[in-house]
Amino acid sequence: MAFIGLLYVSESCLAPQHATDEINLIMQISIARNAALDVNGALLFTGTYFAQRLEGRVEAVRQLMTSIEADARHRNVRIIDNAPIAEREFARWSMAYNGPSQFIERHVERIFRSPEATPSRAEVDQLIRIMLEFQRD
């Protein structure tokens, strides 16, 4: 069975006054849906950008991405990593989220606004490490 790790960034369309409620709804739906599909991952929200890591079977991750790309709460979805993985780094969470992460907005924005079609492996790995750090107990 093939597993992939996918990471995307996107621009938020959420009005600041509704962001908390919308993120709570996203998390409620994501936790249930990801558990049912055996997908793990993490979400970062900076107020301006989203970054999300998904790990699971190729078919399940593709199914989720179809739904994610159609979601009107964000736009300009850029998949910056989509590769086979040997093991899941976010195996403890169907979807982890640790509140707004405004202080990393510069890092996510740099990746999002990169003129390169795909950011460097180092930038992708750094964002994944940041996401993992946010999820530590």
Instruction: Name the residue ranges covered by the structural domains of the chain.
Output: 3-134
The per-residue pLDDT for 39 is: 96
Q: Tell me which CATH code domain 3-134 carries.
A: 3.30.70.100
Q: Is 60 exceeded by the pLDDT of residue 137?
A: no
Question: 22: Cβ–Cβ under 8 A, 6 or more apart, which residues?
Answer: 14, 73
Q: Which two tokens stand for residue 12?
A: 């938020």
Q: What is the DSSP letter of 18?
A: G
The per-residue pLDDT for 100 is: 67
Question: 51: Cβ–Cβ under 8 A, 6 or more apart, which residues?
Answer: 7, 8, 9, 43, 44, 108, 111, 127, 131
User: Strand locations in 1-136, DSSP E?
Assistant: 3-12, 40-45, 49-57, 74-84
How deeply is 130 buried, as exposed, middle or buried, from its count of CB atoms within 10 A (0-12, 13-18, 19+)?
A: middle
Q: Check: CB of residue 90 under 8 Å from CB of residue 27.
A: no
C-alpha 52/C-alpha 44 separation (Å) is 6
Q: List the beta bridge partners of residue 75.
A: 11
Q: Could you read off the pLDDT of 61-113 as tens digits, one per residue? A: 999 999 999 999 999 999 999 999 999 988 888 887 776 666 777 778 888 77
Query: Could you give the percent of the chain with pLDDT greater than 70?
Result: 90
The per-residue pLDDT for 110 is: 80
pTM for the full predicted model: 0.86
Q: Which two tokens stand for residue 122?
A: 């180092």
Q: Which two tokens stand for residue 126?
A: 């750094």
